Structure formats: structure tokens, C-alpha cells
Amino acid sequence: MPVSLLWAVDVYGRVYSLSTAGQVWEQCRDAQMEFKRVTAAQQCCWGIACDNNIYLNIHASDLPVRYQEETYENQRWNPVDGFSERLLPSDRWQWSDVTGLQHQPLDNFRLPSISWEWEGDWHADENFEGEPTEKGGWTYSMDFPATYTKDKKWNSCVRRRRWLRYRRYKAMDTWAKIPPQQTMLPDPFSDISCGGWEISDEPSGRLSLWAVSLQGKMWFREGINHHNPEGSLWEEVPLPAEVVQISCGPGDLIWAVLWEGQFIVREGISRDCPKGTSWAVVDSPSPDVAATHVAVGMNVVWALTKDNKVWFRRGVNSHNPCGSGWINMVGEMIMLNVGLNDQVLAISCEDRAVYFRQGVTSSELSGKTWRAISVPRDGDRSHSSASASSLQSAGCYFCGEVRAQSVVSDVESDTDKGSLDGASHLVASISPISPESFVDAPTDHSEEPIDTPKAPVLEEEPIPGEEEVEAPSAGVAISSMATYTLAIEDQYGADEHPLWAWVSGGGCSVDSHSQLNWFNSLVQSVQSMSLSVTPAQTAAWRKQIFEQLSERTKREMDNFRHYEQAIEQSVWVKKGTMQWWRDWKPHKWIDVHFALEQFSGPEGNKDGILFIYYNFYEEKKYLHAFINEVTILVPVLNDSKHSFAIYTPERTKQRWPIRLAAATELEMHDWLALLSDSCCNSRGIQGPPSKQAAWSVTCKGDIFVCEPSPSLEAMPYPTPCDQMFWRQVGGHLRVVECNSVGIVWGIGYDHTAWVHTGGYGGGFSQGLASSTDNLYTQVDVKSVYIYENQRWNPVSGYTNRGLPTDRYMWSDASGLHECTKTNMKPPSPQWTWVSEWAIDYSISGGTDREGWQYAADFPASYHGYKTLKDFVRRRRWARKSKLTSTGPWQEIPPISLIDVTILPCAAQSSVDVVPLWAISNKGDVLCRLGVTTLTPAGFSWLHVGTDQPFKSISVGAASQVWAIAKDGSAFYRGSVSPQSPAGPGAKMYCWYHIPSPGKQKLKQVSVGRTSVYTVDENGNLWYRHGVTPSYPQGSSWEHISNNVRKVSAGPLDQVWIIADKVQGSQSLSCGTVCHRLGVQPVEPKGQSWDYGIGGGWDHITVRGNSMEPPRLPSLTAPAPPSPLPVRNMEVNGNAVGC
Amino acid sequence: MADDKDVLRDVWFGRIPACFTLNQDEVTEREAEPYYLLLPRVSYLTLVTDKVKKHFHKAMRAEDAEEMWFEYEGTPLKWHNPIGVLFDLHASNTVLPWSITVHFKNFPERELLHCPSNSVIEAHFMSGIKEADALKHKSQVVNDMQKKDHKQLWMGLQNDKFDQFWAINRKLMEYPTDEGGFRYIPFRIYQTTSDRPFIQKLFRPTSPEGTAHTLGDLLREMYPVALPTDGEPKRYQVVIQGIEPLPETPLQWLSEHLSHPDNFLHICVTPVPSD
């Protein structure tokens, strides 16, 4: 889980943050003045300072906040001057926006605030719809407005070009003032709350910011997003009465507290209307006591009343934002805040400590107990001895009526500000609420005694082992002398007391499973003990044990090896029952007995045979496979079977694995762990993957690694790739890339970047086949999609009544399978839902405001607006599911990636910097700094400017960088040297635009030693012809193959692909690993394909394999290219399937 | 640096060379040659000495052979302690091979348990595992196991199958990641200088403050004299699996890596030899 921050303000107005990985409150030294309130999102924190201005603190990221300004220069042709700035009176401005309606000369562009700076000067854009234009970037047309082309024609009367300039937000990691609005009244803000980022992804980084003024008015900040983090202007929100405090959740919940002590709840919040439309009133939980404070999350509302009681609102969700009733909770608090994942933080009324609500889960939103966060502040250590005793007494002192005094004195120190600490201000100013009946809000006291924040927990001790010990020791010895101590959990009393005024968890990503070190600074993480982090490994005690064990072996065994062993070795058999997808038609699952017989092989290696016993017409038969011939074990989890596939070279050729299903997931994992251990043993493979290893990923996200044999790239007889042995590595990834010095990076389905830790195992193979360290929890999130389909009829318009021939009204993308919101399950039992169904507006083709896409009929191409010819429409619903596994991967937060590439050749030493490039999920090109074999994660990103978003990138052995833009065009980046990896000055014009092959849109590129290969969106594989050291861009694209999904070119210029399925199958996804044969310096394109493991493979990288094959004298003519295997089109042919 | 898993293998495959000689008082028909054998440290004497029994039976009349028992320098060897413990406790400073005397008469009823069959060893072994899991996991793991898993543990020990044993035993070595280790460490401290069979008390792997307890912490509480005092020569050897771990070794790690198959950490405290 990435590190995130909890923000808080103490009673003296000092701002602190506490990292989820940290154990100390760090003071925000940058803050020039005291703050009253803070409200945090993951990317930033807003605050009200004591000068009553609003300040914004954006967390620095390697990815700059950058805004592209654009304007168009328009020209018309006349016979005298040719093209000139002399336009007709009816024409647009000479400098205008894209529509021509706005006058936009270059010097009209101003920086919006002092927090911005220009990145460079204006320059003309020389790309036009994915194609390079002539110098100057002009595009031509007959007249304004019309279709423009990049070529000048005889009838081109007008031309225009686009000018670009970038500005950059520079005030990162510092509190920057939001310029006050001229029209605002001199009414200072008293409360602020941000949220709403879950409502819509469009535009990216969108936030809702709400503020309340001292006079009880409410304001909404318009236009906040990633490119405009400060927002544009404040807009007043009409209110039924004066408001004192507001809370805005990550989704569509917004509650506020009125001066009179009731709540108002915002209604009508939607994607199109994040501001909402109207207010509903909810009464205070207690008829006599006014509400003072409210905090909302995604699905929860917590509140406080004037008597400091804590209340939880029942039945809150987006359809019913008001909820149904109050439950009184334990604890007395003065302030509450709901962070991410509906986790709750509070400030206690008694000691002003920050409490975290433990045990809040999606099924138990009210949590279990309050637990005080007891970590020191960073300044505490220097004067801890002096302050410890006095602060302790201050903790007792700081309660009840005395509190008001202290706040007053605090305010007096800055009298002209007229500000009051929020909570105590409320206490002073709230008038008694009118007595109203509580028909809809029954007070439920049943949960009252469920917890208490400080009661010590007594554990009951069982009396162990009485009966067990008796049998052997009776008559010989007295039973074991156990004494029973009652362990009382220590009370984690902090020795000093910070006094908190406000806390905000809006940027703090924790959940009930997070391991936080906030509560007891002495608790050691478990890794340091048994997963043995590096310092422990080098500890003297460990060294001593290893040394003494080897001495013991020498002393007790080395001279006596000729002695007879007390226990004779024998064959070990493990048996079980499973189901087998039988080989003959009709294919079905049949019950079989399954046995693995293991024995010691001739060279001491363990070997084994696998037997599958089945009945065939009452006759007992069996099928067997030698463990040393198994090439891969692939888990094939789906929602009904816990199954896995076993391949041998022969089975790979047949495209027909042995498919087995276990009764439970646990049983399957036990078998997989045992079988893979047995396979690795029989091949003598152990420990972490080598630097030369090939990595691949299936469409289920499973990761496999293969140790290449030296003759894998041999000529003319390479190792057939169906004989390659793949073993699984724990974790879940969509992309994995490596190089030959052992640097391996991966990207998850949720675009999280991961680096390989050098470990192995994880996943199911916990235990002996895993490394003992370097394994971490890995979380991945992916969306499951279903489609709602409708047909138009003249009577009722679009309805869910289709024609009898139509697809299901709720279906998958193909329309062939019925998929409803209720019957859809997560992809496999390993996945769990983490969100509700929501309309997905980001589908390609665009949607209307309700998410619909229209078409003439099913199936067709859909568009996001309705025309007269459209008789059907569909919309996509998405639901997120989450998988948690373990693997040798460590997260590289915070930037999400879609592609990554590592220089493939060997580095000279372990401190040499290895170029690593990546594309962020927003399309930014990034270069990782500080990547070496010792620090494979590097330390930061360098952003490399481009004029358009990119989607694929590859760096070759000579540091040449090729990339594909989102519009499908290719770019080559010149003069990239190892010394300045991002090229001279990291300016955008270093990119050479390379025309795409035959109007195809490219989607992926891979660069080997010298070869450049690309794949286009229609599955064609292209080779770049004519690349020479003096002309590195090459001259033309040459077609190699079709039905290709991915390509990986390695440091030997070897070429491997994922070949896509042959058209005509119903199956949506299948991929096969293929190896290009006959590649040699004189014939870099190779001759034919050799087919390896598949289908169901999504990705391969061979960029680690720089082992030169043994040179054989060419005895005979090259072997004839192996014929394409006949593809088995059975469903079973794709073991992994989709 | 070697992997921690290598420790498990080293512990499992530890062997003690032994020379079995027949007691001179036994009635024999012909002279019985000594019998040499490599004994697994983690197994039990009566489980691995079928060959010894057969060898000496050949030299005796059937009616003269009662239940076999072993003795080293006058001390009857308790078969229900692991072989490695017997060796470390009684013979660690002897010259190898370890010379064990075989008896077929005068079974020392007051000192040894009878062992009529392997099923007695199995029951003893399994009860050890269950007791250890009661301490480690309130018996939750061992109770969740199926009968065949229990069998697999026993068969693994009986047939010297490391993988077979550890495929199941690893589950007994797991613990919730948010707790620093087991509930209590199953350990037994043996000594030659006392009549008590062993010391066994409740001891947690971590202190209430969350720091890891070490071997030294355990001894300080259970057997303080075993720890060397400053300025004095070492009086006691603390031996686990034939080696002397440093006092700062974390107890949880020892429990996971140096325990015997019965899941107990058997610690032998013997006086330093005077020579």
C-alpha cells in the first residue's frame, strides 16, 4: 500500500502530518502562519490560515502539473502576397481559438497566479492527426471553417497552424495562497471540506471544495482539476439557514450542521452536477441537544452533539443520503473526520488525542473500538524530558470548561483575525435547538457498551498440554512443570500529550487490514523477525548458527558417511481425488484419482511420475506424465472450478493440456505447490530467477519465468520453445519488463508500478518453494464490465424489451452471455468486490450524459450521441474487484504507468545507471533516475516533455528510444546518451516523427540491439528497414506477420511475440508465445515462427537474455522452417482462456 | 548468505554416528559384533534401531531377548526424547562414534517407558505436536488438520521424508502477521544436574512492549545460572540441535528453525567439561 498522510492541526495552529508508514507527527515547517482548519485529498491539502485566506499545499510529484495553452494563427492567400495575415473582413481573427470565435493573440495569455511559471516559449505544432506536417506546421483548407489537410492543394485558400505553450505549477509542497476573489464580501471562511473525487474521473484530478463563512454562508469552488489545481472561482450556494460546519465525502455525500443544531443534506449530486441541487433537513440525534459536528465518508455519516456524544447514522447510501436512524456510540469527542475507505478519526474531548476507529470494514462500517494514536511529534525528542511531566498534567487540565480559556488566550494572540477555534466557537454560539419529535430517528442504545478506548484486555490462558504430556511421561517423570501467568496487555500510555484541534484523513489511505505503527511505537514489524529483513540476515547470531551447523556436519557426519543409514529411502506417494477434463468427446469433468510418486533420480535429483486413474466403461485405466517433462503448471481459476492445466511439450503441440480441478482452492494450492516444487526439483531449478530469465504474463495476470538454455537462440537448431520450462512467481501483473542485469519491473492492472525484489515464490507456493525474505503483499484492482442493452420502439422509446432475436438486455460485450448485476461474480474466488456497480463513461466512442452509446443495430460501432438512424443503445457498467496476493514485488508509488522499458544490455558495474523509461497512465513520458543493479527501483522520475500523450515506449541497446503516441504515430528520440538519459535539455522537439506504416495506427514498439519492431492495432507486425548508425530513424516499415498482439525484441535482436488467435473463433482472447527462427545479422527479420506455450498469454519479455548461443559449425543447410502447427480451435485449446 | 531454509534441512538431516555394542552380561550363543549406524538426530531411538535389534537377535536365543533398551555410560537412554537431545545431554563431549550399549534384560522400569511398538512412538510424537500447537495457536492449526495430515507428519518422520513432513509442518509454523510470533514458544530445557525431567513454562516470543525475546531472555527467566556472568569462565553449555546459538538469537526464529519435528525447542544445558 502506498504511503499516504494524515493531517492534523494542534490547538496552537501548527500543522502536522503523519505518514501511514511513519511513527512521528512531522510538523509542516513551511507553514508561515497558524492554521485553523485543514482538509486533505490524496494529492493535496487545503487549509484556512489565521489570516482567513485559503491555502493549498499540493504534494510534489515527479509528474509536474502542466497546462497546455494553445492558440491558432490563421492566414488567407491572395494573389499579391501569397499566404498572409491579411484576412477578409468576414474572416476570423488572425489569432484565435480553434473555433475562430475568440480573439487570442499570444500576448493575451497570462499566468493565472504567482504559483505558475512558463515552461518555454511558444512553438508551432508540427503534428497533424498523427502525421508529421511540413516545417512550420501549417494545415490547409479551402475556407474557414472546413476540413484541414497537411498538404497544400491547388484550391487551398486559407491555412492555419497551432501554437503551443506550457505553463507549470511551481508551488509544490508549500502552502500557496489562493488569490481572493474580488467580488467576495469581507466575510472570512470558517470551515472548509474537500471531496467528491469518486463522482467522476473527468477531468482528471477533479475535486469538490466546499467552504463555510463566519456569517454562515456556503461557497463552492468551481473548476478544480489536475491541470487547474487552484480552481477558478467561488460560487455561493443558496441555503435554508446559516451553516456552521460542512463535510464532503469522496463520493456524493455532503452534510452540513446548521446554527440551530440540525443537519442539512445535499441532494441531487451527480456526475453532471457535482454541486447538487437541493437540501434536505435531518434533525439532531438527541431532541434536547444540538448537533455540533458532522463527518461523512463514502457510505457513512458520523456526528457529534453538544454534549460530545458520538453518533453513527444508519442506512446511508447514495440513494438515501439522509439515512434512517442514529446509533449512539461510545466515546466523547470534540471533532470527527472520515478518511478514505470510511475510516474514522476523532479528537477526544478528554485528552485531545487523535483516536483511530479500529475494525471499520465495508460490512461493519461502525467499527469496533477507539484507539489512540500515540506517536511523538518530530519536535518532541529534543525537549521530551522537560515536557513529559508538564504535558501529562496538561492532559488532565485540558478538559471541560477550562478548554474555553485556553482557546481564548490562543485567539488573543492574533486579535485582529477575529477567528475562533471551530469546535469551541460552536459551543459558545449555538442556541438551544427547538424541541422536535424524533419520529424518524430512533435512538438505539443497544450498541452502547460495545467498546471503550482504554480498557485493558485480559486474555484467558488455556492450560496447555495436560493430557498430551501424560501418556509418555507417566511413571518416568512428573508432568511438565508449566506455570501459568496472566499476561495483561500493556497500556500504551504516551508519555506526552499533543493537544489536537483538527484532523483530516481525506488523503490517508488506510483500511482495516493496514498495518499501522501509530499505536505503539515499539512494535516490531513481523518482517524484521521471521521474514528476516537484511540487517537481521547479517546478524551475528545468524552467522553463528550457519557456521556451527556446518561445523556440526563436519564433526558428526563427514568422517562417518560410510556408515549405514538408519532409515532406508523409499518412494513417496501422495494421492488425492480430483476432476479431469477428459481428452475425448464429449468433453466433460470426470472424477479421477490422482497420485504423485516421487523418488530420487539418478543424479540425486528428485523426480516423479504423475498418475491419473480413471474409469472407462467400467475398466480402470490411467494416464501418466513424467514430472521432468512437465513444462508448466497454469492455474485456471474461474468462478466455478478450482482448476489448473499441466503442459508437456507434446501437450503444447496438441494445444491440449491435462486439465484438473480440485475440490477447494486450498487443495488446489497444495497440489500446485507440491507439483511445482517437484518439477523444479527434477530440473534442479531453485532460488530466484536468473538475470537472463524470460518473463511472461497470462491474461489472468499470473506471472511466469523461464530460465533460457544457452541454445535457445542457437542457429540453426535452437531449443524448441515448447520445451521451455516456466515456473510461476507470486503476484499479479499486466506487464513485466526486464533487462540482462536483472532489473525487472512490472505494471499491475490498476497501473501500479512494481519492482522485482530478487525473491521468488509467493502466491500459492508459500513455504518451502519461496524465498524467506523479499516477499510482500501485492494488491491489484481491475474492473468487471457488463452492458445494459436497449432497443427503440415507436410507442415507448428506448426500453429494455428487445426483439426476440436480440441479445440479452444485460450482457457481456459480445451480447452472447447474459450478465446481470446480480449474477456477475468476481473473476475468480481470489477476487472480491470493492465497489458497487456504476455507469462507465470512459468507454471508447464516447457516451451521452447518461452513459448511453447509440447504434443502428447490434452489434455495430457505437457513438456517444443519438441520431435518427439509431435504434439500439447500450451502456457499460463497471464494478471494481480486488485481489490480494504475495510476491517478490515492491510498489513504486505514486505514479501509475501503462508501459515501461529498460535498456537491455549489460551494465558495466553495479553502480552504473541503467536507462529506464516509462509512460504514465496519462500519457506522459518519464525517465527513471538512479536505477542501478543495487537500486533497481531508482529514486525519482524525470518528466520528458511531449506535445501529445504516448502509450508505448522502448529503449534499445544503444540507448535509442522509440515511442508510440496515443494517436498511433511513431516517434524516434535522437541523441539519447547514457550521461543524459532524457536527451539534451529534455525538450519536446527531440522527438522525430516517423510516419506510420500504410496508414495503420501503431500500438506497441520494441527495440532490440538494432532491430525496431512495432505492432499496429490490426495485429500487424512491422520491422523498421534501413536503420543504420548514421541513419538511426530507418527508412521504411516492412510487414512481417499478422495476428500479432505484442512483440519483444531482445539484446541479441531475438524476436518473440504473443501471437493472437486465428479469426473465426468465438473465444475473445488467446495468445501464444512464439519465437522468430532464423534471425541472424544478415537476416534480422528471420524466417519463420516456432510456437511455444499458450493460449491465454498476454505478454512476454526476452530482454534479459543476452547469452550468445554456442557457435556451431554449419554442417548442413538450415533446417526447413517448422510448419505451423494446426491450431486446435477447441475451447480447451486456450487453457487460460478469458 | 545461506537461506534460512537451509537450516531446516541441516536440522532434519543431522546424523549422529553410533556404535551399538551388546551388554557383556547378555547371554549369547555366539559373539556379537558391534553395529555401526548413522542415527537421525530428530528421530527416536526405538524408531530407527530395528536393524540393531535384528543384528543382535541373530546372536541370541529368542527366549533370552526381552525388550531392547539402551544405555550410555550407565545412564539408560530415554527413547521418548529425540536422539539429538540424548546425545547433546549425555554425550556431547564424547569421542565419535557414540558408543551405546544394548540391553535385552533388566529393563529399568523406574527410568524408562516401555515401547512395545511404533504406534506408541507415534502417539508420543503426535501428543508432542498437539501440545506444541496448543501453546503456539491454541490448538487451532492442529485441530483444523485432517487425519491424513497428521499421518503425513508421522510418516514423514518415520521414513525420513523432509518434504513430506514440511509440506504439512509449515502450517504449524505460521502465525498471524500482526502478532510478532506464536502465542507461546514450546520449549523444554533439559539438564543433567537435576532430577527434574525438564523445565517447561509459558513464555511469549515478544515482550509486552513488542520487542522480540531472545534465547538469553528465556534463560534469564528459566535458568539464570546457565548464562555466563561477566568476568567468570563459562560454566554451562546451552546446546540446541548440537550447536550453541548466541544468547541474542531471537527465540521465535529458533522455534521456527531449530525445533524438533515434535515442534518443541529442546534446549540442553550441560556443565562445561572440566578438562
Alpha-carbon gap, residue A239 to A262, rounded angstroms: 13
Contacts of B182 (CB under 8 A, 6+ apart): B135, B136, B137, B175, B205, B252, B255
Shortest alpha-carbon distance between residue A348 and chain B (Å): 24
Of B165, B180, B159, which Cα lies nearest the Cα of B263? B165
Predicted confidence at residue A263, as pLDDT, reads 95
pLDDT digits (tens, 9 = 90+) for A781-808: 989 999 998 888 888 888 887 777 777 8
Of A357, A345, A317, which Cα lies nearest the Cα of A506? A345
For B138, name the nearest residue in chain A, comparing CA atoms only: A462
The amino acid occupying position B2 is A
Predicted confidence at residue A520, as pLDDT, reads 59
Alpha-carbon gap, residue A264 to A277, rounded angstroms: 13
Burial annotation A728-749 (CB, 10 A radius, 16+ → b, else e): bbbbbbbbbbbbbbbbbbbbbb
Give A472's contacts in chain B (Cβ within 8 Å): 80, 113, 123-124, 127
First-to-last alpha carbon distance for chain B, in angstroms, is 35
Of B268, B241, B258, which Cα lies nearest the Cα of B16? B241
Alpha-carbon gap, residue B247 to A928, rounded angstroms: 45
Which segments of A71-162 does DSSP mark as H helices, in order? Answer: none
For A687, name the nearest residue in chain B, comparing CA atoms only: B3
Q: Which of A261-270, A475-484, A775-784 has the lowest mean pLDDT?
A: A475-484
Contacts of A388 (CB under 8 A, 6+ apart): A495, A496
The amino acid occupying position A32 is Q
Contacts of A75 (CB under 8 A, 6+ apart): A83, A84, A85, A87, A94, A138, A158, A159, A160
B178 has a chain A CB within 8 A of its CB: yes
B245 has a chain A CB within 8 A of its CB: yes
Q: pLDDT grade, residue A440 (50/70/90)? A: very low
Predicted confidence at residue A1047, as pLDDT, reads 95
* A contact test, residue of B125, B200, B207, B254 with most A CBs within 10 A: B200
Q: Does residue A450 carry a pLDDT above 60?
A: no
pLDDT digits (tens, 9 = 90+) for B145-166: 888 889 889 988 988 888 889 8
> Is the Cβ pair A473, B197 closer than 8 Å?
yes
Give A553's contacts in chain B (Cβ within 8 Å): 10, 14
> Is the Cβ pair B7, A546 closer than 8 Å?
yes
> Is the Cβ pair B249, A545 closer than 8 Å?
yes
Selecting from A468, A532, A560 the residue whose C-beta is nearest the C-beta of B38 gives A560
Selecting from A472, A606, A766 the residue whose C-beta is nearest the C-beta of B113 gives A472
Alpha-carbon gap, residue A668 to A829, rounded angstroms: 12
Predicted confidence at residue A909, as pLDDT, reads 63
A548 has a chain B CB within 8 A of its CB: yes
Q: Does residue A444 carry a pLDDT above 70?
A: no
Q: pLDDT grade, residue A540 (50/70/90)? A: confident
Q: Which of A301-305, A436-440, B170-174, B202-206 has the lowest mean pLDDT?
A: A436-440
Predicted confidence at residue A983, as pLDDT, reads 53
Give B69's contacts in chain A (Cβ within 8 Å): none
Q: Which one is predicted more confidently, A511 or A1092? A: A1092
B249 has a chain A CB within 8 A of its CB: yes
The label of the residue with cell 474572416 reads A91
Shortest alpha-carbon distance between residue B26 and chain A (Å): 24
Strand, coil or helix: A985: helix
> Is the Cβ pair A484, B202 closer than 8 Å?
yes
Give B127's contacts in chain A (Cβ within 8 Å): 467-469, 471-472
Predicted confidence at residue A569, as pLDDT, reads 64
H/E element holding B57? Answer: helix B50-57
Residue A999 grid cell: 496508414
Predicted confidence at residue A605, as pLDDT, reads 61
Of B261, B254, B268, which Cα lies nearest the Cα of B185? B254
Q: Which of A28-32, A816-820, A890-894, B102-106 has the lowest mean pLDDT?
A: A28-32
For A688, name the nearest residue in chain B, comparing CA atoms only: B3
Q: pLDDT grade, residue A238 (50/70/90)? A: very high
The label of the residue with cell 497444495 reads A670
Selected residues 676-715 of chain A with any CB under 8 Å from a CB in chain B: 677
Give A484's contacts in chain B (Cβ within 8 Å): 202
Q: pLDDT grade, residue A461 (50/70/90)? A: very low
Shortest alpha-carbon distance between residue B226 and chain A (Å): 18
Residue A1117 grid cell: 543447410
Of A642, A892, A649, which Cα lies nearest the Cα of A756? A892
Task: Report the DSSP pairing between strands A831-833 and A872-887.
Answer: antiparallel
Task: Judge contact between A891 and A904, C-beta under 8 A.
Answer: no
Selecting from A485, A522, A550 the residue whose C-beta is nearest the C-beta of B211 gives A522
User: Predicted ipTM?
Assistant: 0.92
The label of the residue with cell 525484441 reads A1049
Predicted confidence at residue A602, as pLDDT, reads 47
Contacts of A498 (CB under 8 A, 6+ apart): A10, A16, A25, A352, A353, A377, A391
Alpha-carbon gap, residue A852 to A872, rounded angstroms: 10
DSSP state at residue A653: H
Q: pLDDT grade, residue A526 (50/70/90)? A: very low
Alpha-carbon gap, residue B258 to B82, rounded angstroms: 13
Q: Does residue A462 carry a pLDDT above 60?
A: no
Alpha-carbon gap, residue B124 to A946, rounded angstroms: 73
Residue A923 grid cell: 500519457
Selected residues 41-80 of chain B with any CB under 8 Å from a CB in chain A: 43, 48-49, 51, 78, 80
Task: Judge contact between A1024 and A989, C-beta under 8 A.
Answer: no
Q: What percent of chain A has pLDDT over 90?
A: 30
Q: Does residue A148 carry a pLDDT above 70?
A: yes
* A contact test, residue of B53, B122, B131, B164 with most A CBs within 10 A: B131
Predicted confidence at residue A180, as pLDDT, reads 80
Task: Please give the mean pLDDT across all residues of chain B.
Answer: 88
Q: Which one is predicted more confidently, A330 or A433? A: A330
Question: Dihedrals φ, ψ of A457, to 5°?
Answer: -100, 125
Selected residues 473-532 of chain A with any CB under 8 Å from a CB in chain B: 473-478, 480-485, 487-490, 515, 520, 522-524, 526, 529-530, 532
Q: Peptide bond before A1113: cis, by omega within 30 degrees of 0?
A: no
Q: Which of A434-443, A790-799, A868-877 has the lowest mean pLDDT?
A: A434-443
> Is the Cβ pair A489, B7 closer than 8 Å?
no
Q: pLDDT grade, residue A721 (50/70/90)? A: confident
Question: Dihedrals φ, ψ of A1043, to 5°?
Answer: 60, 40
Predicted confidence at residue A503, as pLDDT, reads 95
Q: In Å, what is the CA distance from A591 to each residue of A219, A272, A443, A577, B223?
A: 67, 55, 57, 7, 58
Q: pLDDT grade, residue A975 (50/70/90)? A: low
Q: Does residue A758 carry a pLDDT above 80?
A: yes
> Is the Cβ pair B124, A472 closer than 8 Å?
yes
Question: Dihedrals φ, ψ of A275, to 5°?
Answer: -80, -20
Task: Judge contact between B264 and B127, C-beta under 8 A.
Answer: no
Residue B81 region by backbone torsions, left for phi larger than 0, else alpha for psi between -120 and 50, else beta: beta
B180 has a chain A CB within 8 A of its CB: yes
Shortest alpha-carbon distance between residue A598 and chain B (Å): 10
Task: Judge contact between A929 and A916, C-beta under 8 A.
Answer: no
pLDDT digits (tens, 9 = 90+) for A68-100: 899 999 998 888 888 888 888 888 888 998 888
Selecting from B15, B134, B209 the residue whose C-beta is nearest the C-beta of A522 gives B209
Task: Judge contact between A643 and A636, C-beta under 8 A.
Answer: yes
> Is the Cβ pair B134, A468 closer than 8 Å?
yes
B82 has a chain A CB within 8 A of its CB: no
Residue A862 grid cell: 457505437
A1116 has a chain B CB within 8 A of its CB: no
Q: Does residue A593 carry a pLDDT above 60?
A: yes
Residue A1074 grid cell: 512464439
Q: Does residue A590 carry a pLDDT above 80?
A: yes
Task: Please give the mean pLDDT across all residues of chain A.
Answer: 79
Residue A70 grid cell: 494553445
Q: Does residue A532 carry a pLDDT above 70?
A: no
A605 has a chain B CB within 8 A of its CB: no
Shortest alpha-carbon distance between residue B188 and chain A (Å): 9
> Is the Cβ pair B48, A567 closer than 8 Å?
yes
pLDDT digits (tens, 9 = 90+) for A604-641: 567 788 888 988 888 888 888 888 889 999 988 776 78
Give B3's contacts in chain A (Cβ within 8 Å): 771-772
Strand, coil or helix: A92: coil
Q: Is A1001 exposed, middle or buried (0-12, 13-18, 19+ CB in 10 A)?
A: middle
Shortest alpha-carbon distance between residue A867 and chain B (Å): 59
Predicted confidence at residue B27, as pLDDT, reads 77
Q: What percent of chain A has pLDDT over 70?
A: 80
Angle subtended at Cα A453 by Cα A452 and Cα A457, rounded to the nearest 5 degrees: 75
The amino acid occupying position A1116 is T
Q: Does residue A109 carry a pLDDT above 70?
A: yes
A557 has a chain B CB within 8 A of its CB: yes
Q: Which of A236-245, A553-562, A639-648, A985-994 has the lowest mean pLDDT?
A: A985-994
> Is the Cβ pair B248, A540 closer than 8 Å?
yes
Q: Which of A186-195, B16-25, B191-200 has the lowest mean pLDDT?
A: B191-200
Residue A581 grid cell: 477434463
Strand, coil or helix: A995: coil
Selected residues 764-803 of chain A with any CB under 8 Å from a CB in chain B: 766-768, 771-772
Give B92's contacts in chain A (Cβ within 8 Å): none
Q: Does residue A482 carry a pLDDT above 50?
A: no
For B81, name the nearest residue in chain A, comparing CA atoms only: A472
Task: Judge contact between A702 and A634, C-beta under 8 A.
Answer: yes
pLDDT digits (tens, 9 = 90+) for A898-925: 999 999 876 566 668 888 999 998 899 9
Give the distance, in angstroms, between the CA of residue A682 and the centroid of all CA atoms in the same chain.
37
